[in-house]
Structure formats: C-alpha cells, structure tokens
Amino acid sequence: MNPDEVIELLEANKNERGIQNWKKLNPDPDGLKSFGIGLTVLRKLSKQIGRDHSLAQQLWKSDLYDAKIIALLIDDPKQITREQAEKQVDNMKQGFLAHVFSSCDATLAKTSFVVELLTDWINSDHTIRKGCGYGLLYEVSKSKKKDAPDDAFFLQKIDQIHDTFYGEKNSIQVAMGGALLGIGKRNIILNAAALKVAKKIGPIPIESGISKCEPFDVVKHLTSDYLKEKLGI
C-alpha cells in the first residue's frame, strides 16, 4: 500500500465519538488531527497493511495522529536504526503516541539495540526519553528470548527505580511503576525485589487534568493470586 491508500483506509474507519474523545485528551494537539480510531482497530488495520519500513517512514511524516500510530505498528524492527529512534522521540510529547512508541508490544522493543537504548534513555535528563526508556524496560521484561537480559540486569534497574523515584516527575514515576510491575512478573527472585520497592513507593497517583484516574497500585498486581500461582509463590 502507499500512503494515500492508508489514509483512505483510515478515513473509512473514522469514529466521530473517538474524534471528540481524542480532542478532549489532546487539548494541545501540536498540529495533529485524528480520525478517532481506537488502538484495537488500528492494530487490525496494521496487520492488514503488513510490515513495511518505507511506508512507515512516510506515514510518520503525516499530520494525522492515526497514521503515525500505524507507522509505529508496521515498522520493521530489523530496519529501525538508533538514529531513527532518536529523531522520532525528539518529535513527540508525553502521551499515548509515546506510549505506543515504547510500550503496547512496541516494535522498537524488538530491535537488536533496545537494551542499550533503554539504558541510555533511562539515564537521560530528557523527560520523554526517560519515560520511553522505562516503557521499553517494561517491554524487555516480558521477553522470553535466550538473549534477554539476566536477573542481575533487572535487579540493577529495580535499585535504580528505588534510588531515583521520588526525584522524578509523575509521568516518569508511572512509567517506573510499569517497569517494576513487568520485572516483578518474571520470576520469584525478581518478584520479591520488585515487591519490596513497590511497598515502599505505595500506590502511584496518576496526574491528569482531563480525567480522574485511580492510583497505580503495583503491589496489588505483584501479589495477585494469578501471579502467585504462576510463579509458584
């Protein structure tokens, strides 16, 4: 497919209610507009389009929010470069676009350089990079590949969250909580270490000027009956 065909496909799936909700959640759209299509539908459309690195790069230049999401979903992790990732993160604000970029089974998390990238971003003073870094850490924590980081790597990241949590902005704290949750689901050792920090931190408030959200309770998730049974605790 070419960019025009993708835009036609998106327009055919336009959701008026979604558009109003998108405007409510994005009072400062930064020049973007949207067809109001939900992520579930966008995922289905991206599968219909298929992996296409060249098309993804073209769609990323669009002023259509939905097209940018499609770009992130159809990109080829084998062709994404560190330079591309750095340019993309420089052109987004904190929000759902950044969330899909670094979480939600992110394509970026499937690149060969993701561990080096997330480590650099977590240690960055750049708010969006740091948030995306912790989002990628969450994604990596789910990896079952043989080359996935070992427990020592994740224990170090748990310590880093413990040592720096209270000095971070709320958006970063929420991302840290997500990473802590992902790590704590890997095995008994990491669960115990993550749970210790989560108890000290407590439920994490989610600051939003748009809607009221329940605090993010990492402890609740790490002590669920389902996870206990899964890990054999």
- Segment 76-127, tens digit of pLDDT: 999 999 999 999 999 887 678 898 999 989 999 999 999 999 999 999 999 9
| Average pLDDT value over all residues in the chain | 94
Q: Mean pLDDT lowest for which of 12-26, 157-171, 175-189? A: 12-26
Burial string for 174-207 (b: 16+ CB within 10 Å, else e) reads bbbbbbbbbbbbbeeebbebbbebbeebeebebe
Task: Return d(Cα 124, Cα 102) in angstroms, integer.
Answer: 15
- Partners of 97 in the β-ladder: none
**pLDDT at residue 210 tops 80:** no
Is the Cα torsion angle 179, 185, 191, 195 positive or negative in sign?
positive
Task: Return d(Cα 71, Cα 107) in angstroms, integer.
Answer: 10
**pLDDT in the model for residue 104:** 87
Residue type, 75: D
Alpha helices in 26-81 (DSSP H): 39-49, 53-60, 65-74
Q: Which two tokens stand for residue 194?
A: 């993550």
**pLDDT at residue 177 tops 70:** yes
**pLDDT in the model for residue 208:** 65
